[in-house]
A and B are shown apart, each in its own frame.
Chain A
Amino acid sequence: MTMTALPKKITPEMIASHGITTEEYQKICDILGREPNFTELGIFSVMWSEHCSYKNSKLVLKLFPTEGPHLLVKAGEENAGIVDIGDGLAICFKIESHNHPSAIEPFQGAATGVGGILRDIFTMGARPVLLMNSLRFGLLDNAQSRRLVSGVVQGIGHYGNCIGVPTIGGEVAFHESYEGNPLVNAMALGIVKTTDIVKGKAAGVGNPVYYVGAATGRDGLGGAAFASKELSEESTADRPAVQVGDPFLEKLLMEACLELIHTDALVGMQDMGAAGLTCSTCETAARGNTGIEIDIAKVPRRETGMTSYEVMLSESQERMLIIAQKGKEKTIDDIFEKWDLHAVKIGHVAEGSGMLVKDGDQVVADIPAKALVDEGPIYKREKEKPAYLREAQQLDLKSIAEPADYGKVLKQLLAHPTIASKQWVWEQYDHMVRTDTVFYPGHDAALIRVKGTKKGIAVSTDCNGLYCYLDPHEGGKIAVAEAARNVACTGAVPLAITNCLNFGNPMKPDVFWQFYEAVTGMVAACKALDTPVTGGNVSLYNENPAGAIFPTPTVGMVGLLDDIEKRVPSFFQRDGDLIFLAGDTFNEIGGSHYLMAVHGLQRGLPPRLNLESAVALQKFLIESAALGITASCHDTAEGGLAVALAECCFNPASFMGARVDSLDLLRPSASSNETLREDALFFGESQSRVVLSVRPKSKEGIIRVAQKHGVPIYPLGTVGGTRLVIDDKIDVEVPEIADIFNNVIRKKMEQ
């Protein structure tokens, strides 16, 4: 891509290689009233790419509920949504993908994913206080997958550890559909005083426009366009499209920007992420209904001979655009000098509504800013139910033999890397810096305290790709509901979600059908649970030569705990406590991890999620936590009740044992005309269920609160001993199964 002179004439090949259609090119000509030059063509191509314009997904994304009483900044308005949490404070959060870069260069791809999402947060004036992630890889038996896991984990750790924002949780799952196309979704959350929120808009004609942070190089050239096509065997040739990150520089940039918000010199701030200088200039102008003029000759560079095209499209990291108050330039200069960072005045807010880019005296681009941001093409894509579903959704329960040895199956499930402890992963992340992490990774949801208040913030990222493959609508619903359930297990009230929608090529009608169905499922759950969407990102074209990934609409759910002292851990706490299961169990083994791991089948309908039951369970969890009667609470997910019970025993402070002897109470609760299969009871993944423990004196209390909300609750047994005994089917030593659970990923990675 390196070039010394730009082509004078635009050819059809150039248009095609920029991913622009003939119709889109005509529209560009209409907007400009002339043909674009090469730099302008590049600018349109990145701004109108799927990554920046959501041209294929926008019509579907509009279905998401985005209204809520606590929303201060709504989805799409700014870099990230903002939710009021009281006490004059608000939280700002977002999840974003860096899948394609991570597939090519896992360390830098993942690292810059973290860097980018952090900038989205401090751009808003918020201090980032936590990072989460959601990762998908191929199976660990594959050396290529292990290389990706190792690189991605080190990359995330490298960036987060250095900048000093704790990575407090997330999820990692392994399936062959992600081979060669890993998913790396990074989430960040920041805290901001409601009076300090910064907007990414230009205002005040004549106000100076500053470029601050790192110098511009050729790295990441056209990254947004790169993210908007499928990965192929040749994708490694796109390596220059992967950016290189420097967390130390970003730490300085973050501190400088957060210092700046407390001065009167700041008008607006926008990070240079995808499409770099191009995106930040036209977006600030478009949001502010104003024009903007910059001179790229003034842009600090770390390479010589860069063209205007390269400067405008570079995705070099750790850079920001700042709109300053005229006359306050010295304040800007002083702060950035203190932090040893570039701060160069490259232009000013202009009359009109154009984005005028000069290189010295020469005009290199002159485009209406709104045309780039708001007038991009929007497509209604065709959708068609995929042919594979007819076969894949079939499951003849009678053909599935129930296991002979339930203890063996439990061990087999605990040893599956998707279920097993991710300790090997999160021990490489500093998950404690800032001294706010109250629940370490391994809990249902991560929990931090908010210093200076009694509040806590709980966060969970969730999605089950297999469910979404077998039934995207139900899978989308479940992703939202499970994330909410995880948050509610801590006692926190789920407030809002951010999402990262990872799918295949939207031009394929069956992929687009998956996308549409998953979104409508999520919409239904968001509405029922009253958790609006504050923003997020869409990652399409996630395909490797073998086909599309499992549809994976990842949800990042954020909840608020009014009193951190009322928090509920995920693990059993003391011998003698009583164990309960809340929620009903059905004959649901379709799409279960048990069916996949033990019977080698990825089929059937995934469990059904009843939204009324989900809402009722959530109210029950929140009220019983507030009353202080819940000693521990853990949701049942992959691996069902047996795995959930085992996980409750793995208290990191000290392993607990449990004796579960009243499963008979569950057996009649299955749908009336068929008996509940034993494997469905032990390993089925029926939704809206949690395992709770309470002190004996709270037995009546917990039952009363459950009944008040119409939640079925069943006593299961008692915490105690060193063994996990379930009925007459499972009797295992807890340290033995904990060893399997805690070390399987380490062993596989070190093989």
Chain B
Amino acid sequence: MKAAVIVFPGSNCDTDCAHALSDIMKMRVEFVWHKESTLPDVDLVVLPGGFSYGDYLRTGAIARFSPVMQAVAKHADDGRPLIGICNGFQVLLEAGLLPGAMLRNRSISFVCKHVWVRVEDTDTVFTRKIDKGATLSIPIAHGEGNYTCDDDTFNRLQDESRIVFRYASKNGETDDQHNPNGSRDHIAGIINEKRNVLGMMPHPERASETILSSPDGRGIWESLL
């Protein structure tokens, strides 16, 4: 398994993703600088978290214009796996590779903590080795994770089983108390129609080892292998 981690100016989870994929999951990982116009021959592309372009304008709004994004879109168009985590998810939304948009967190504050996410769908390359309905402890760290979309989009996401993760309690109940940012219908992660582009706010790379409080994020990487 070979993976590329895209590095935008301001990405700051790029080395964390590379560590999880390479040192823990034993994938071959290359960093790709955003000014590149082609991707190396890889199976997986990761858009990591961080503050690409300092969140100027809107989160992810400038990164979508980086030269590398055309090659990333092509990779996705070819049906190969692409995951955007946190700021990477925001970039996917701005690039139109996933539908919807992000608002400021309901609290107006940045929030960093472990949350529980319920696995809503396992018919994806990212979740096929995880039990449906399982709850995973994975950290979040964002100021704009309040996912929103119009009703039509929401109904499609729902009908096409494209909501992959929802914020929930440890026991899997969804309610406002366990939704850390106010996202629509507790959405934490969604996938595209072709089911190869996943965007999620929680950071699985921060939950891939027991020493870091939770290994629950590993299931996503293992599903890809």
Q: Which residues of A contact B23 (CB under 8 A)?
A: 451
A427 close to B12 (CB less than 8 A): no
Stretch at the interface among B38-46, B107-115, B118-126, B153-161: B107-115
Contact A164 to B9, CB < 8 A, known contacts A432-B112, A432-B141: no
A435 close to B12 (CB less than 8 A): no
Contact A433 to B12, CB < 8 A, known contacts A428-B111, A451-B19: yes
B94 at the interface (CB under 8 A from A): no
A157 close to B110 (CB less than 8 A): yes
* CB nearest neighbor in B for A653: B213
B145 at the interface (CB under 8 A from A): no
Contact A433 to B54, CB < 8 A, known contacts A427-B112, A428-B111, A428-B112: no
Q: Which residues of A contact B12 (CB under 8 A)?
A: 162-164, 251, 433
Contact A251 to B10, CB < 8 A, known contacts A434-B15, A438-B212: yes
Q: C-beta contact mask, A102-139 vs B, less than 8 Å → 1, else 0?
A: 00000000000000000000000000000000000000
A35 at the interface (CB under 8 A from B): no
A75 at the interface (CB under 8 A from B): no
Q: C-beta contact mask, A436-458 vs B, less than 8 Å → 1, else 0?
A: 01101000000001010000000
Q: How far apart sit A338 and B7, CA to CA, in the bound complex (Å)?
A: 12
Partner of B16, one of A154, A157, A429, A435: A435
Q: Which residues of B contact A433 (CB under 8 A)?
A: 12-13, 16, 49, 141, 206
Q: How far apart sit A248 and B55, CA to CA, in the bound complex (Å)?
A: 8
A252 at the interface (CB under 8 A from B): yes
Q: Which of A428, A429, A430 has the most CB of B within 10 A?
A: A430
Q: How far apart sit A652 and B51, CA to CA, in the bound complex (Å)?
A: 29
A161 at the interface (CB under 8 A from B): yes
Q: C-beta contact mask, A403-443 vs B, less than 8 Å → 1, else 0?
A: 00000000000000000000000111111111101101000
* B:191-218 near A, CB below 8 Å: 203, 205-206, 208-209, 211-213
Shortest A312–chain B CB gap in Å is 28
Shortest A573–chain B CB gap in Å is 14
A435 close to B19 (CB less than 8 A): yes
Q: C-beta contact mask, B19-41 vs A, less than 8 Å → 1, else 0?
A: 11001000000000101000000
Q: Which residues of A contact B19 (CB under 8 A)?
A: 435, 451
Q: C-beta contact mask, A465-488 vs B, less than 8 Å → 1, else 0?
A: 000000000000000000000000
* CB nearest neighbor in B for A255: B9
Q: Which residues of B contact A435 (CB under 8 A)?
A: 16, 19-20, 205-206, 208-209, 212
* A:252-269 near B, CB below 8 Å: 252
B189 at the interface (CB under 8 A from A): no
Q: Which residues of B contact A154 (CB under 8 A)?
A: 109-110
* CB nearest neighbor in A for B19: A435
B56 at the interface (CB under 8 A from A): yes
Q: Which residues of A contact B15 (CB under 8 A)?
A: 434
Q: A154-B110, A248-B51, A440-B213 are in contact. List 4 more A-B contacts (CB 8 A).
A: A162-B10, A432-B112, A433-B16, A435-B205
In the complex, the 9 A-B pairs of residues with the closest C-beta atoms, listed nearest first: A164-B12, A248-B54, A162-B51, A430-B141, A435-B16, A430-B112, A428-B110, A432-B206, A157-B110
28 contacts between A and B (CB under 8 A): A154-B109, A154-B110, A161-B51, A162-B54, A162-B55, A164-B12, A164-B50, A246-B54, A248-B55, A248-B56, A251-B51, A427-B112, A428-B110, A428-B111, A429-B110, A430-B112, A431-B112, A432-B141, A432-B203, A433-B12, A433-B16, A433-B49, A433-B141, A433-B206, A435-B212, A437-B212, A449-B211, A451-B19
